[in-house]
Amino acid sequence: MVSVLKHSAGLILLLAAFSTQAAAPAGPGRFYCCEGGRVCGDSLPEQCRGKAYRILDNGGNVLKEVGPPLTAEQKALATAEALRKKELEEHAREQRRKDQALLDTYATPQDIDLAQGKAEADINLAIKGAEERIAAARKQRKKFEDEAEFYKKKALPPDVAKGLRDADHEIKTQQELLDVKQGDAATIKAKYDADRKRYAELTGRTTAATAKPGATPATQPR
């Protein structure tokens, strides 16, 4: 049942009127009021739809306040804010996962130095190998270049032409590999620098100095 009452005497008289109407029970004892309490009912009155309203108990205490429907602009802002909060929560959750993985990987700051030293040693070995193969290919190419001097005005013999092509291909391939490995070296340094910084932020523990590649740092107590 919906009972719509309009009283100019205010909310107290309004609630009193409800309490004296024994023939019209107020359901669960809650009232819905809008327009400053001028329109009330034991269910949401039609006049209150699309407006802000309050839910009150029999004693006139406010149980809940419901604002007016949001405008299109307000809905868009609310959606954007909800999305922003979700992204922040996801970022925080991912950061916690990474932090835990970091702590699980390194028991001490020296473990970071050891891991970096091993990774850099492997990269340096690959870089050295590529440099040596480039040097060997250039030496081989010089040999074929010297032979080609005798054929300036003639067609090169097939084996000389092939030797030059093969040397050029090897130099190009190894140079590309060298560039990749040098980039990997920079990436590794940045990774372990970041790990070391974050580990210190999480634990307050640092090493006195960064270990050199292949070096074994002194052990610190945990």
Per residue in 197-222, pLDDT tens?
999 999 998 875 444 444 444 334 33
In this structure, the answer to whether residues 114 and 146 fall within a common structural domain is yes
How far is 110 from 200, CA to CA, in rounded Å? Answer: 12
The answer to whether residue 210 is domain-embedded is no
Which of the listed residues 60, 87, 114 is the one where a domain comes to its end? 87
Average pLDDT of the chain, as a whole number: 82
Whether pLDDT at 55 is above 80: yes
Domain of 119? Answer: 94-203
CA distances from 135 to 115, 131, 167, 214 (A): 31, 6, 10, 26
Count of domains forming the chain: 2
The answer to whether residue 220 is domain-embedded is no
Q: Which residue has the tokens 């909060």?
A: 85
Q: Choose the weakest-confidence range: 44-48, 87-91, 118-122.
A: 44-48
The answer to whether residue 184 is domain-embedded is yes
The answer to whether residue 49 is domain-embedded is yes
Predicted local distance difference test score (pLDDT) of residue 137: 96
Q: What is the pTM of this model?
A: 0.56
The answer to whether residue 127 is domain-embedded is yes
In this structure, the answer to whether residues 199 and 103 fall within a common structural domain is yes
The answer to whether residue 101 is domain-embedded is yes
In this structure, the answer to whether residues 139 and 192 fall within a common structural domain is yes
Exposure of 100 in the CB half-sphere (CA atoms within 13 A): 6
Token digits for 9? 């005497």
Whether pLDDT at 9 is above 80: no
The more confidently predicted of residues 26 and 165 is 165
Whether pLDDT at 141 is above 50: yes
How far is 24 from 2, CA to CA, in rounded Å? Answer: 10
Whether pLDDT at 97 is above 80: yes
Q: What is the CA radius of gyration of the chain?
A: 40
The answer to whether residue 58 is domain-embedded is yes
The answer to whether residue 222 is domain-embedded is no
